[in-house]
Structure 1
């Protein structure tokens, strides 16, 4: 009698708590989806959070930095804090309003569907971007000339991925497979486990190589966990206890044919939209860079006087890696970046200081055997620069290629 009373009292105590946690997670999921990356409401919501930071939380130094390329700004972390608070408030309000003490199973099922499609969209978007020179393009001349010790950890990741088209392609293919599996109910659990495995590796790279997508990638991993949470016991019985188990399968409840046809048609349209919008990167063609290469200076002559290699005003290398950007490495290893215009018809290279209209140098170039000679003016001085061109395929990182057999490791 006493034991049953204690059990009954525990049920009364835990039932509201479990319902709160259930509603809290669901509320947080929707807050994140509707206010994070890819959402049209992101800007509006961030401005609202910014107002809260400055007027309620008293953090006036927080800024909304648009087009920063980082998803881990101070404001982004404040968005997470506000979402945590709002989700708790939303859960409490729903519990107070709900007099029937419902379990919200249908809401949970619908939320899983929303999360499935959201994660699938993300996986397809990032996956297709890796299949063809999208997220990780082939290393530029500037990157190839950068010393490993001078790279940022994030730059190291981009250099590693850009060095191997095969590895990048397979990484993208795995993300695409995970996204496709999530689009169908019969494969959703496998798709969530598959995508979570792939995204854990992505999140670890983001955390330990300081890539500023830590918040977003962590949430994608958690969303995959949310998708499989309903099958947690079945998975535990099968993988740990080695007992027969069966995953839950939510059948369509539409009893009329026109409803089923409408749902199937809508789903096909959504899948087609996801694939079409995400696969646009497959048709991206990197711009052709005329005269691309690292031009190693053999002789630098200014006003008919050859500048020795230990003189800081002399040039060491000219790096042409973009149609509109050129870098010059001086003899003291300092780097100057310029806006550039390369006229292949006139065989001329024009350099301007970035954010200035001032002309820095105007050079004509011509090829003589294995060397390229630039002649023209740098400011008021006449210059003649004899160089040797080094192309992308001349770098050991690009020349080595793949070998089935290696008698000794090539690690230098």
Structure 2
């Protein structure tokens, strides 16, 4: 008998009993947060957003001894192997394997449902792949790491991102009902299989986690796969699975408590995700930029220590152009080598400086978080790249008119700088689209 095609009328072989014990322990450790550091992070994380707490709880992945990715799988497999051996000796003859298999599937499907709904929601409300910043639009294609290209390719089409999220949420909801589990699992097996391939191709850093989700989906789908093959391919008379577990009082209590909690959790997750999207999307700074500053500027005049440096694409000191974002970020094009921030910019934090999605995975431009005193007309700039955080500027700013902005002050070396910026009123085909006439 195959473990994955059993029903109540079939006998369990010793091999399948051992395999079930192993899988039950293995997936339990993969799914249920037992690591105290996980709860410690939830409590101490520098953010007041309920969205962070709920999202992290939904997409938990175990980590042992500081190990990463597949290494944790080996640790869990070793523990599960020992547990299966010991369990076979201690509990021999006491287990109801049909019910254990039911609980294995129940744990996996609810866990996968939470992940699918959580990741689906941050696409339905376009947070995972935000629209490229203006500074990113003025970055050469070759100055992006592969993962950033993928994120921008998806981010520039929010309608498509919303569609992807809708598919994920729908599949997650299908998993919450036993009758529709196979349909949801089939969708997610293909979906997360594609996500795994994308992670591998674009070096996005979540290969192990996406593969784990694909395995969850396959485990659920394969339960009915032989019956689906018999019915749809072989076109034979096929009997549906008719196993229904008989629960004791404690199991009934557990189900009656967990089901409402699941509903409340999903509603709260949806509400906090929308709240984050509508108030302060977590990947971009929440502090508004200087009023009237948003735009792309050509550097007309640049002086270093009162010596004017003519325009140059090779001078390592001369600013070439500047972008002010709608939020408190300023980016500068300079021909100075950059040690690229290899992070993904997906951390949850209330600190605008640490919200580094726009600067992560990017070369060619230097991104600065700034604090503005709009009364004294001063700016304090700090490089958002963790590899260049020592790079700072203390500047005064002055709007000469709606197209000219002057910056002057000192850098971290106390060198004086003077910058005259001219705003370029540029039309972007990405914004204009191609469904209406465009005049440049």
The two structures have a TM-score, normalised by structure 2, of 0.71
Instruction: Give 1:23 shift.
Output: 2.1
1:254 & 1:167 partners in 2: Cα distance? 43
**1:290-329 → structure 2 map (5 Å cutoff):** 290=290, 291-301=293-303, 306-310=308-312, 311-321=315-325, 323-329=327-333
Instruction: Give 1:241 shift.
Output: 0.6
2:25 to 2, 24, 27: 27
SS of residue paired to 1:75: coil
SS of residue paired to 1:313: coil
> Which blocks of at least 5 consecutive residues in structure 2 are unaligned?
1-11, 40-60, 281-285, 338-363
Instruction: Give 1:294 shift.
Output: 3.0
- Give 1:282's aligned residue: 274
**1:333-412 → structure 2 map (5 Å cutoff):** 335-344=365-374, 347-352=377-382, 360-366=393-399, 368=401, 371-378=403-410, 379=414, 381=416, 383-389=418-424, 394-400=427-433
Instruction: Give 1:217 shift.
Output: 1.0
SS of residue paired to 1:179: helix
- Give 1:50's aligned residue: none
1:293 & 1:246 partners in 2: Cα distance? 65
**1:7-406 → structure 2 map (5 Å cutoff):** 15-34=13-32, 39=33, 41=35, 43=37, 74-100=67-93, 104-251=97-244, 253=246, 263=255, 266-284=258-276, 285-286=279-280, 287=286, 288-290=288-290, 291-301=293-303, 306-310=308-312, 311-321=315-325, 323-330=327-334, 335-344=365-374, 347-352=377-382, 360-366=393-399, 368=401, 371-378=403-410, 379=414, 381=416, 383-389=418-424, 394-400=427-433
SS of residue paired to 2:299: strand
* Contact 1:366 1:374 survives alignment (8 Å): yes
- Structure number with the higher helix fraction is 1
CA 215–261 in structure 1, closer or farther in 2 if over 3 Å, else same: closer
SS of residue paired to 2:404: strand
* Contact 1:312 1:331 survives alignment (8 Å): yes
CA 253–397 in structure 1, closer or farther in 2 if over 3 Å, else same: same
- Give 1:3's aligned residue: none
Based on CA coordinates, which of the two structures has the bigger radius of gyration? 1
Instruction: Give 1:360 shift.
Output: 2.2
Instruction: Give 1:400 shift.
Output: 2.0
SS of residue paired to 1:230: coil
SS of residue paired to 2:310: coil
Moved more, 321-330 or 214-223: 321-330
SS of residue paired to 2:236: coil
Give deviations 1:354-379, integer Å, cap 9, x for gaps.
7879962413131535x222143234
> Which blocks of at least 5 consecutive residues in structure 1 are unaligned?
1-13, 46-68, 406-412
1:305 & 1:128 partners in 2: Cα distance? 53
* Contact 1:71 1:212 survives alignment (8 Å): no
1:344 & 1:265 partners in 2: Cα distance? 53
SS of residue paired to 1:135: coil
SS of residue paired to 1:309: coil
**Using CA pairs below 8 Å that are at least 6 residues apart, which structure has the higher relative contact order?**
2
- Give 2:54's aligned residue: none
SS of residue paired to 2:69: helix
1:255 & 1:85 partners in 2: Cα distance? 32
1:42 & 1:216 partners in 2: Cα distance? 20
Moved more, 371-380 or 351-360: 351-360
CA 41–71 in structure 1, closer or farther in 2 if over 3 Å, else same: closer
Give deviations 1:109-165, integer Å, cap 9, x for gaps.
011111111000000111111122321111112322222112111111111121111
* Contact 1:296 1:390 survives alignment (8 Å): no
* Contact 2:35 2:62 survives alignment (8 Å): no
* Contact 2:139 2:365 survives alignment (8 Å): no
2:422 & 2:239 partners in 1: Cα distance? 70
SS of residue paired to 1:342: strand
1:390 & 1:350 partners in 2: Cα distance? 26
The two structures have a TM-score, normalised by structure 1, of 0.75
